[in-house]
Amino acid sequence: MDEKTILSSTYDNLPLTSTHWGTYRVEAVDGKVTALHPFGADSDPSPIGTGIVDVLDSPARIKMPMVRKSWLEHGPGTATDKRGQEPFVQVSWDEAETLVASELSRVKTDFGNKAIFGGSYGWASAGRFHHAQSQLHRFLNCIGGYTRSVNTYSYAAAEVILPHVLGNFGGMMYGQTSLESVANSTELFVSFGGFPARNCQIASGGTGDHSQVGLMQKARQRGAEFISVSPIRSDMLERVDAEWLAARPGSDTAILLALAHCLLAENLHDTDFLARYSSGFDAFAAYVTGQSDGVPKSAEWAASLSDIPAATIRTLARRMASSRTMLSVSWSLTRQDHGEQPYWAAITLATMLGQIGLPGGGVGFGYGATNSVGMQRQMLNFAALPQGKNAVDDFIPVARISDMLLNPETDFVYDGGRYTYPDIRLVYWAGGNPFHHHQDLQRLVSAWQKPETVIVHEWCWNTLAKHADIILPCTTHLERPDIMLNPRDPFIVMMEQVVPPVGEARNDYDIFANIARHMKVEDSFTEGRDMHAWQEWMYETSRDMAAEKGVALPDLDSLKQKGWVKIDVPDKPHIMIEDFIDDPVVNPLNTASGKIEIVSQTIANFDDDMNCSPHAIWREPSEWLGNADDKFSLHLISNQPQTKLHSQLDHGSHSRAGKINQREPVTMHPDDAAARGLHDGDLVQVFNDRGICLGVLVVSDDVRPDVVQMATGAWLDPMMTADGKLLCKHGNPNVLTHDLGTSKMTQGPAALSCLVEVTKYNDAPPSMTAFDPPEIITR
Ligand SMILES: Nc1nc2c(c(=O)[nH]1)N[C@H]1C(S)=C(S)[C@@H](COP(=O)(O)OP(=O)(O)OC[C@H]3O[C@@H](n4cnc5c(=O)[nH]c(N)nc54)[C@H](O)[C@@H]3O)O[C@H]1N2
Ligand SMILES: Nc1nc2c(c(=O)[nH]1)N[C@H]1C(S)=C(S)[C@@H](COP(=O)(O)OP(=O)(O)OC[C@H]3O[C@@H](n4cnc5c(=O)[nH]c(N)nc54)[C@H](O)[C@@H]3O)O[C@H]1N2
Ligand SMILES: [Mo]
């Protein structure tokens, strides 16, 4: 804990709210929010939350239901190419609900429920009840179901590979060896992709205390050493004095294989551990030594692929074998071509080191990605809004949305199976912003023209809202009561309604309840409960669940009185799959062999055209610096933004303060800037064959040569160039990224495999319109 620790403060009497970026005390005057203050129990509060104050009630706020003009005048499917450009007509709630209900009924009757896409991927808000996707999915299930999406943009490739190798995904991701264990016991923390302090500001579902950075610092003070393999120096938090290995992006699997090669060559691998806990090592070893394919995966081999000297790799392997080592792989490694391979290779290497199950040793997935990863806590489960049953079986891997819309009734493969894309007529989105999160946005813009109707719940005029046919304005966390009830955090917080809803905004729940009434399914949607009754049900059910695990939570009235509670944290640091390590026969993993699968026979049995290898292997990414023939010679890293969560609050004061002349910074190494005659502060265009993105140049040796960095999150501000390319005036890097799946097996997003070029933008700078509302027609 650093000096910022405040155990009580002058704000203790103000109402509480919780967000994905932390818990705050809210100050309001005359029904307007004037400030958000740190929560006294938060040792390292994030400033991100303050960004909402000036935009809660600003011109970018959606205050009434609206319908795109030609959709309203001529019906579904009209001028879908005008989405994002046409004016909206303001309508009453009753008119909007009637339109939505009759359009859903039409699509159901004419095409069946599978023609409704309710994937609605994204983060929405932190309260347990007003979780927009849970509301949407429950509602759509009440009317007969919807085509869903599986997995995330965060780590889709890991979600597919981990069940094969370690038996499940969620348990591994949120049952990792805790950072307390790292702080107490790790001697060498080897990180691929860093431990970026900026990302620990975030916790999906909310948090009470930002503790992770403090724990890393504690490990350092105890004497732990840190190595960061990453294209960006600041990916490892500064306070731990890490040694930086500035590897070529996309080369991690090669380095991991070479580390395995060194262990084998010097007989440093733990053969007893391998025999007792894993299956398939011999076939992997034959691949690593080159016995099976003629290519030894030696340090020299990896050096030419990664730009990390062979001697450095060899020394690292020896240090890893002789220290208590935590091998940490970031989630970002999964968001690139063959993103499953670095994870499989890392698990294999950690198995060879034989430290899985020991305090501070083994492998970790995404330490530092959020405040929840490696959080020491009671392993509890809490109640969530029941989803009902989806009567439709169709699904897509989440990042295949453009493929689905553009190629209805065609086949795709995923995790060894064969499936067909449904023919989608209606898209319903509540929570999440595909015009932020998806790759190759020009392709998405075309795909988005396919459905006849797009219905969106949003609170602000972001790019998604502007691309809707029917937009229904929802409340924010400050305008409704809720509970922060996050099983991955020791705090529970009663979130208060601080101000009345702005304009005619309504809670997602009430919007769905009213549409459900029009569609005669109100009883099954609400079960006779209003929001308060549901929240009480959620809390009381969760309290019972906790009691079953021996954890006593206060009753609801006491909780309301204090506002928050912190559940006691167990003294003994949590260790991943400790029970399996204790006794692999009694507590086998949920894999085909019950052991760690260095070779997966299940994957080996997949059809040949699925192009899957039975163990971790090196595959050259489709786009990377290793391909000297590519006409674009800079690797673009589009990582998480410091000043916001994705696109949320991009229009707020905190995010705007991080921009330069209203646009996003693009960071480039001094050598690359000099070679191009570029200077700090230049307005530049980042481009490739897919699109163009404007930004302002920052010259810094924080990035390695040949790499440029541009954070995600800027609201797409589109402009078409004379030759028909999508240009973002503001700085959304997803106009540049490609829309290919990570692999035929995992089908995740691969945004981080992306090459670009950067030149000065010599035309007159186009004016910024990202935060302007569309033209609105009132009747
Ligand atoms: N190039 C590139 N692209 C990436 C990534 C990358 O690293 N590089 N990262 C990817 C990752 S990891 C992720 S998780 C995604 C994130 O992508 P998203 O999760 O889609 O991004 P957000 O901006 O958080 O979208 C949340 C939306 O929900 C809305 N919202 C908030 N509260 C409510 C509510 O109560 N009700 C309703 N109806 N709406 C609400 C917000 O206004 C916002 O528009 O982006 C992915 N895209
Ligand atoms: N402030 C803030 N925090 C966030 C979020 C946010 O939007 N804002 N989003 C949250 C979400 S949804 C997620 S999923 C997590 C994501 O957590 P991460 O995936 O860890 O986050 P990123 O910032 O995308 O990537 C971390 C770093 O990986 C490095 N990297 C990229 N490619 C490679 C590579 O090929 N090899 C190696 N070794 N390194 C590489 C980049 O330099 C990058 O800065 O962050 C969460 N935290
Ligand atoms: Mo994510």
Supply angle C-alpha 64, 69, 71, rounded to 5.
Answer: 105
Instruction: Enumerate residues lining ligand 2, CB below 6 A.
Output: 154, 192-194, 196, 198-199, 201-202, 229-232, 235, 247, 249-250, 252, 330-333, 336, 366, 369-370, 637, 639-642, 645-646, 752
Name the residue ranges covered by the structural domains of the chain.
66-151+394-480+495-543, 166-377+574-598, 625-760
Kindly tell me if the per-residue pLDDT of 2 is higher than 70.
Answer: no
DSSP letter string, 169-216 = SHHHHHSPPPHHHHHHH-SEEEEES-B-GGGGG--TT--S---HHHHH
Torsion of CA 535, 536, 542, 547, to 10 degrees: 160
Query: Is there an atom of ligand 1 within 6 Å of 690 CB?
Result: no
Ligand nearest the Cα of residue 173 is 2
Beta strands 278-279; 596-597: pairing state: parallel
d(CA 642, CA 645) in angstroms, rounded, equals 8
CB 361 within 8 A of CB 288: no
Q: What is the pLDDT of residue 628?
A: 79
Ligand nearest the Cα of residue 204 is 2
Q: What is the pLDDT of residue 4?
A: 40
Residue keyed to tokens 């937009």: 471
66-151+394-480+495-543 CATH fold: Rossmann fold (3.40.50)
Kindly tell me if the per-residue pLDDT of 5 is higher than 90.
Answer: no
Instruction: pLDDT band for 13, please (50, 70, 90 cuts).
Output: very high
Give the residue from 175, 203, 187 showing the smallest Cα distance to 327: 187
Average pLDDT, integer, range 422-427:
98
Kindly tell me if the per-residue pLDDT of 705 is higher than 80.
Answer: yes
Average pLDDT, integer, range 461-465:
98
Going by alpha carbons, the residue nearest to atom 12 of ligand 2 is: 154
CATH of region 625-760, choose from 3.40.50.970, 2.40.40.20, 2.60.40.10, 3.40.190.10: 2.40.40.20
pLDDT tens-digit profile of 534-559?
Answer: 999 999 999 999 999 999 999 999 99
Best residue among 18, 712, 753 to mutate for probing ligand 1's pocket (most ligand atoms within 8 Å of CB) is 712
Tell me which amino acid residue 454 is.
Answer: V
Q: What is the pLDDT of residue 134?
A: 97
pLDDT tens-digit profile of 162-220?
Answer: 999 999 998 898 899 999 999 999 999 999 999 999 999 999 999 999 999 999 999 99
Best residue among 121, 436, 502 to mutate for probing ligand 1's pocket (most ligand atoms within 8 Å of CB) is 436
Query: Is there an atom of ligand 1 within 6 Å of 165 CB?
Result: no
Query: Is there an atom of ligand 1 within 6 Å of 132 CB?
Result: yes
What is the Å distance from ligand 1's center to 647 Cα? 6
What is the Å distance from ligand 2's center to 763 Cα? 33
Residues with CB under 5 A from ligand 3 (ion): 154
Best residue among 646, 693, 708, 752 to mutate for probing ligand 1's pocket (most ligand atoms within 8 Å of CB) is 646
Kindly tell me if the per-residue pLDDT of 669 is higher than 70.
Answer: yes
What is the Å distance from ligand 2's center to 331 Cα? 7
Mean pLDDT of the chain: 97
What dotted CATH number matches 166-377+574-598? 3.40.228.10
What is the Å distance from ligand 2's center to 249 Cα? 13
Q: What is the pLDDT of residue 9?
A: 66
What is the Å distance from ligand 3's center to 152 Cα? 7
Going by alpha carbons, the residue nearest to atom 33 of ligand 1 is: 124
What are 764's two structure tokens?
Answer: 């007159």
Best residue among 155, 340, 622, 640 to mutate for probing ligand 2's pocket (most ligand atoms within 8 Å of CB) is 640
CB 12 within 8 A of CB 40: yes
Q: What is the pLDDT of residue 54?
A: 96
Beta strands 22-29; 16-19: pairing state: antiparallel
What is the Å distance from ligand 1's center to 316 Cα? 37
Task: Mark residue 270 as left, alpha or beta (left: phi above 0; alpha: psi -120 to 50; beta: remaining).
Answer: beta
DSSP letter string, 696-749 = EEEE-TTB-TTEEE--S-PPP-EEE-TTS-EEESS--GGGTS----S-TTT---
Ligand nearest the Cα of residue 131 is 1
Tell me which amino acid residue 728 is.
Answer: C
Kindly tell me if the per-residue pLDDT of 570 is higher than 50.
Answer: yes
**Atom from ligand 2 closest to the CA of residue 368:** 20
**Atom from ligand 1 closest to the CA of residue 754:** 1
What is the Å distance from ligand 2's center to 335 Cα? 9
Ligand nearest the Cα of residue 191 is 2
pLDDT tens-digit profile of 526-540?
Answer: 999 999 999 999 999
Q: What is the pLDDT of residue 10?
A: 78
Q: What is the pLDDT of residue 174?
A: 87
Kindly tell me if the per-residue pLDDT of 6 is higher than 60.
Answer: no
What is the Å distance from ligand 3's center to 40 Cα? 28
Going by alpha carbons, the residue nearest to atom 8 of ligand 1 is: 638
Q: Does the global pTM surpass 0.85?
A: yes
CB 386 within 8 A of CB 138: yes
Q: What is the pLDDT of residue 630?
A: 82
Residues serving a catalytic function are: 121, 123
Neighbours of 500 (CB within 10 A): 12
Residue keyed to tokens 């795109």: 68
DSSP letter string, 530-544 = -HHHHHHHHHHHHHH
**Atom from ligand 1 closest to the CA of residue 331:** 12
Give the residue from 229, 157, 577 showing the smallest Cα distance to 379: 577
Tell me which amino acid residue 284 is.
Answer: F
pLDDT tens-digit profile of 47-81?
Answer: 999 999 999 999 999 999 999 999 999 999 999 99
d(CA 430, CA 657) in angstroms, rounded, equals 28
248-261 burial string, b = 16+ CB within 10 Å, else e?
bbbbbbbbbbbbbb
Give the residue from 568, 431, 381, 433 showing the smallest Cα distance to 126: 431
CB 494 within 8 A of CB 15: no
Average pLDDT, integer, range 508-526:
98
Going by alpha carbons, the residue nearest to atom 5 of ligand 1 is: 437
Q: What is the pLDDT of residue 297?
A: 98
pLDDT tens-digit profile of 343-376?
Answer: 999 999 999 999 999 999 999 999 999 999 999 9
What is the Å distance from ligand 2's center to 772 Cα? 29
What are 79's two structure tokens?
Answer: 């001028």
CB 310 within 8 A of CB 323: no
Ligand nearest the Cα of residue 648 is 1
Kindly tell me if the per-residue pLDDT of 1 is higher than 50.
Answer: no
